[in-house]
Chains A and B, each alone.
Chain A
Amino acid sequence: MLDILQYSFMVRAFIAGLLIAVTVPVLGTFLVARRYSLITDSLSHVSLAGVGAGLLFGGTPVLVAIPVTVGGALLLEWLRQKQRLSGEIGLAILMSGGLALAVVFANLAQGANTDFTSYLFGSITTTAPSDLIILACAALLSLAIVAFNYRGLQHIAFDEDSAHIAGYRVQTLNYVLAALTALLVVLSLRIVGGLLISALLVVPVVTASLFARSFGATIRGGVLLAVVAILAGLTVAFYAGIAAGGAIVLSSLVLLIGAMIIKS
Chain B
Amino acid sequence: MTRADKPSDYNWTIIFICWLIASVSTLGSLFFSEIMEFPPCALCWYQRIFMFPLVLVLFVGLFPFEKSVVRFALPLAVVGWGFAFYHFLLYTGFIPESIQPCSQGVACSDTYLDLFGFVTIPLLSLISFSVLVLLLFILKRRLS
Q: Do A and B come from one complex?
A: no
